Structure 1
């Protein structure tokens, strides 16, 4: 069994869990949304509220999952929430009451949050024990694979069975993929020597002036990225050349997201997290605004690709930088950053829905998202300036004391 690389099996199981909980459970709403609006009369503002209910659930799930991390039944909890998540997808195709949709999307978000945090904990702990930390990019590629899958399946299922069948088809596919999770995703055997090394950390508490600005930028990312993540396919449907296959844009998002975490980690190794974050935010801003400037096939697909290439990468970079700034309490800081990010995800679709309803165009929502991403870059720049001043002050004090 050891010859078959246990960490690889665990990573594959983790990828499968992200395909289900994130790619299908969380993000399948995007390619299905224009179909729902066309066939059920769902309004733009109501679509925004429905998306926000899912993100509220995700926010609560990610926060409450920290309690499960402290318990020994992480794997059982993950499997339980994964099955519930799958059934919410199946039930979305079985009912037509919007009030029930709100409940189902909330539960889907809640369980997605649980699964994402629990799977991350299991996989990343395993990679640390097996000394394979660089494999984390492979694990997070599961989100991209899931998005790619939904972009391919939704139009096919819709052509045969309508919007109901699209939800149900994705639900059964998720059920099949869950077999991989149950078979391969295991918690590694405790290694006392590794644990000693992991827990031997620098407890020195140092002030980090860049940290609140980093978290503020991450909150802006929550608002900025989620607008495209919610309304991209609906917007692309208005482009004549893509109106018959708007999910192609979502396929581009997924294809770009698959290798993105690995690529951004390699760039950060050369230039550092903060400089790389500026580049990632700028790239995402261009991707978001491009369909507004060039409202055609090229603008939409290139924009979708740039968006897909950045949204998971930014999360990876922020988490990495937060860990570097607060080694002794990284879990608490990352949890708080996720909370702020989650609030942004709740606000984004709601505000975008209002703007779309008021203007009659998706362009207003993308312009709003672009300005929010620009604000994130300003926050990062302020954080870097504060850090330089703080470090200069420390150096001057040390010279005076010396």
Structure 2
């Protein structure tokens, strides 16, 4: 027995190469493609590339693309294979950075921001399914944390690279991001694992479809409300500090670096938490902390308080990904059905993220730029995510009591 496990374990380097490729993919497609836009918002307005209301809606273009990408990821991969699909999507993001260096029109810009979002969504549904089957089960929380650490590194890079790049001008900033994306795409090109043999995939495809447990629907709903809760800080945090509190772009950029630090710590620590405490309890703890943080953000003005809150908020968007993924693995044993469940979870997340992206933008413009209001609404969404679980538990208990009475 012991001999066979030793025999089948792949060498360490074979496990790490795909994880590093996955990290590069999440760094380029979400870390940079989405999050480097946030610290660019004040500059896009000041350089008169676009009006303030246009800039906000252009930010939402990436979120809409993300939803489209989550829907087309698996069909695309079935056509060309996972590794090719991932390479294509990384190339598309890289191209979009260079294209955004030319502010030809709002629709041109919207189209390229949309494409970068599509690539991000497709990569999000494919990357774990491509890499994790090659990782031992007891390390999967940590491994998925490492993959999605790319998002955090991208956020941190956007905070540290964008301000110095901006001194070279807005166009060169986009080109600089494009160059970084190009290097990471090249670095990951040969790191993707070879596909799992089709025979295995076909065998699981025809295995009996087990009914979806209610807890999985609960997870989809919770994940959706988490998406709604993370959008305002993700899109408006820099603008809130720079323009809303009047602290200026420099302090705004510093706070974004703190958000980036949180985003680096988030995935690996949340993934580790899932391995240790189980995903369900971990999700509950994280939601409580986030709800409190958003409430405090709405009333905080001091730099230290904002910096600390930014770290906690930053840990959330990339951190809940390995948590939700671990929860899917807990609830759904079959690998093929895990992939379906994960893409459904990503679609529900992406839907709420896109819809709330536009809703918050509209609310922001309608309220005359009230940032605090957005953070309060976001806190409310996180509280709803928490209450959903209590509701399901209550329904389960009453259901059990009812069945007991009948018996």
TM-score by length of 2: 0.87
2:217 is the alignment partner of 1:209: no
CA RMSD of aligned residues (A): 2.9
Instruction: Encode CA deviations 1:21-55: one digit per residue, 9 max, x unaligned.
Output: 11112221111112112222744543332222211
2:286 is the alignment partner of 1:283: no
C-alpha contact (below 8 Å) 2:163/2:253 kept by paired residues: yes
Aligned residue in 2 for 1:9: 17
Q: Distance in 1 between matches of 2:214 and 2:195?
A: 37
2:246 is the alignment partner of 1:220: no
C-alpha contact (below 8 Å) 1:226/1:348 kept by paired residues: yes
Counterpart secondary structure, 1:210: helix
2:173 is the alignment partner of 1:166: yes
Deviation at 1:331, TM superposition (A): 2.8
Distance 1:268 1:186, change over 3 A: closer
Structure 1 stretches of 5 or more lacking a match? none
Q: Distance in 1 between matches of 2:103 and 2:227?
A: 30
Stretch of structure 1 that moved more, 348-357 or 311-320: 311-320
2:210 is the alignment partner of 1:185: no
Instruction: Encode CA deviations 1:138-177: one digit per residue, 9 max, x unaligned.
Output: 111111111111111110011222x222111111111112
Q: Distance in 2 between matches of 1:321 and 1:118?
A: 17
Deviation at 1:16, TM superposition (A): 1.2
Aligned residue in 2 for 1:365: 374
Deviation at 1:83, TM superposition (A): 1.0
2:148 is the alignment partner of 1:140: yes
Aligned residue in 1 for 2:159: 151
Aligned residue in 2 for 1:307: 313
Which of 329, 352, 356 lines up with 2:364 in the alignment? 356
Q: Distance in 2 between matches of 1:304 and 1:16?
A: 24
Distance 1:297 1:202, change over 3 A: farther
Q: Distance in 2 between matches of 1:4 and 1:314?
A: 26
Aligned residue in 2 for 1:79: 87
Distance 1:256 1:51, change over 3 A: same
Q: How many pairs were matched up?
A: 392
Instruction: Encode CA deviations 1:268-305: one digit per residue, 9 max, x unaligned.
Output: 34443233212211222233333321123123212211
Instruction: Encode CA deviations 1:169-189: one digit per residue, 9 max, x unaligned.
Output: 111111112221113233267
Structure 2 stretches of 5 or more lacking a match? 1-9
Distance 1:272 1:7, change over 3 A: closer
Q: Distance in 2 between matches of 1:393 and 1:266?
A: 38
TM-score by length of 1: 0.88
Residues 246-285 of structure 1: matches in 2 within 5 Å? 246-285=252-291
C-alpha contact (below 8 Å) 1:11/1:138 kept by paired residues: yes
Stretch of structure 1 that moved more, 345-354 or 210-219: 210-219
Distance 1:235 1:96, change over 3 A: farther
Q: Distance in 1 between matches of 2:256 and 2:154?
A: 11
Counterpart secondary structure, 2:35: coil
C-alpha contact (below 8 Å) 1:322/1:330 kept by paired residues: yes
Aligned residue in 2 for 1:326: 332
Deviation at 1:382, TM superposition (A): 1.2
